[in-house]
Amino acid sequence: MTRKLFTFNGGVHPEGHKDVSNATPIANLPLLPRYVVPLRQHIGTPARALVQVGDTVLRGQMIGAAEGYVSTAVHAPTSGRVVALEPHEVPHPSGLADMCVVIESDGLDQAVEFQPLDWRNLDPSALRNRIRDLGLAGLGGAVFPSFIKLNPEGGGIDTLILNGAECEPWITCDDRLMRERAAEILQGVAVMRHMLGAREVLIGIEDNKPEAIAAMRAAAAGEAEVIAEVVSIRTLYPTGGGKQLTYILTGRETPTGGRSTDVGAQVFNIGTAYALYRAVALGEPMLSRVVTVTGHVAAPGNYEARLGTPVADLLQAAGGALPGSVGKLVGGPMMGFELENDAEDNAAPLTKAVNCIIVKHPDLFPAKPSALPCIRCGACARACPADLQPFEMYWFSRAKDFGKAQSYDLFDCIECGCCSFVCPSHIPLVDFFRFAKSEIWERERHKHDADQARTRHEFKDFRLEREKKEKAEKLAAKVAENKARDAATAAAIAGNAESADPEAERKKAILQAALDRAKKAKESIAPQNTDNLSPAVAKQIEEIEARRTQADTRPEHEEGK
């Protein structure tokens, strides 16, 4: 029975260039003398460094622990010595440096002992914690920690979707992975289904990858533990978007501001499933990934490289950039970004988020024309797969009216680049949307910090007022206690019927009570500086104390003299 497929609005058909790099098998990069491992290779909080300069490490040893909930661990790609823990250039749209652990290889490539996971019998929470410690993150581009996606809030996941669409031009790493390692991918899918409790498994692959479709169907037919349906879908960019692929395969439309989990589906990338297989079957943390190196290079192809491999070594593995190159792209031409340092010796490292390096040439990537004013033609809205109005979002983002831009569902934008691709005025629309989002996030962060500061200030005022009130209550209680004691003494004297002069007796009782309090206070004061006294001085002190005691015990009738 043929599955009914649905079609989302919009989308574009950029030239694929897939045949440039998908004809050769995945090649393994040899061991390198030096690796640069960023502590931030995932969405969320960067890992906390566990090593210091001078430490020796083994392959697979955790060198960065997950910090906070949205985080995951980082591991050493080989054995060697930590020679630096410092900010280093990384492949990121900001072009800013980030904290990295630089490891000098010892050439031995010794590893820690890997322990496979008994995932069928392991407690689900313990299994997720192990996956977190093994450093798994989504390899489809978002690099969201996998242990979180395997524990969606509220549960209710009945459909597991494996994303093999790989719709971005030039990129073929998932294509080759499905062709060569389909059985291992499906073993990773079995773990995902077990953890999510999904009823069905759907694997969506664009129809421009017939070899991958055939390999995955053959593997699915031989996999008894998980029944997966491999679905061939129409080639249209961006079918690889999570919301778009969910709609194509199930007809479920993700609500505004929501995720695919809101409609009972969870989407994972092909590479993530393969990494999960290695984690549970071999006990191996995420140490490497398959990356496409293509464009204007001598030997385009796909390479399995260790995380931390410098870009220069990746390019060298592909024969190096050919003369006439004009820059490098990280990712595809639709959603990727320019590598800031374009030098041949670029030391920016491979991270979990990097799935492709494209060396540009003017014939393949002509210079972008200058942007012209928006003519409000609506071409961007017709191409938008999220049914947004990019021209309205552009106007308000450019004017820094972020509230208005957000009212046009700015955060539903998946930054696929379809609007920029079709814009006749050549306006870099996605750049404006990224700018607006970052500004909104920054303002929200400042607002959150201000709210926390106000809360702390209000609690401090409350604490000081409470302490002041408690002090006043203690003082009032002490005063009342003294008054009650004096009143009781006076009443006892006043009740003495034999007293010849009641008024004099009352005053005498009050005076005696005051003397008793003074005596009690004096007794509570310890003498100062009485240690190590000479015998003469000690004798003088004893005589003084004796006279003071004799004065205090003199007969009452002498007090009036």
Q: Is the peptide bond before 424 cis (omega within 30 degrees of 0)?
A: no
DSSP string, 97-144: EEEEEEEEE-SS--BPPP----TTTS-HHHHHHHHHHTT-B-TTTT--
Instruction: Kindly state the average pLDDT of the residues 21-35.
Output: 95
Q: What's the CA gap between 119 and 276, in Å, rounded?
A: 11
For the cut 80, the answer to whether the pLDDT of residue 531 exceeds it is: no
Q: What's the CA gap between 220 and 266, in Å, rounded?
A: 19
- 360 by Cβ neighbours in 10 Å (0-12 / 13-18 / 19+) ranks as buried
Q: What's the CA gap between 397 and 413, in Å, rounded?
A: 13
Provide the pLDDT confidence category of residue 559 given band limits of 50, 70 and 90: very low
Q: What's the CA gap between 287 and 75, in Å, rounded?
A: 7
**pLDDT tens readout for residues 394-403:** 999 999 999 9
Instruction: Report CA-CA distances (Å) from 14 to 18, 102, 333, 355.
Output: 11, 39, 10, 19
Q: What's the CA gap between 409 and 396, in Å, rounded?
A: 12
Provide the pLDDT confidence category of residue 368 given band limits of 50, 70 and 90: confident
Contact between residue 552 and residue 558 where contact means Cβ atoms under 8 Å apart? no
For the cut 70, the answer to whether the pLDDT of residue 57 exceeds it is: yes
Q: For the sheet with 97-105, list strands across it.
A: 34-38, 97-105, 80-89, 56-57
Structural domains in the chain, CATH included, are 18-32+131-359 (3.40.50.11540)
Q: What's the CA gap between 494 and 293, in Å, rounded?
A: 107
**pLDDT tens readout for residues 184-222:** 999 999 999 999 989 999 999 999 999 999 999 999 998
Contact between residue 100 and residue 76 where contact means Cβ atoms under 8 Å apart? no
- Any alpha helices (H) in 331-401, and if so which ranges? 379-383, 390-398
What is the rounded radius of gyration, in angstroms, for the C-alpha atoms of the chain? 38
Q: What angle do CA 235, 239, 245 make, to 5 degrees?
A: 125
Instruction: Kindly state the average pLDDT of the residues 120-134.
Output: 91
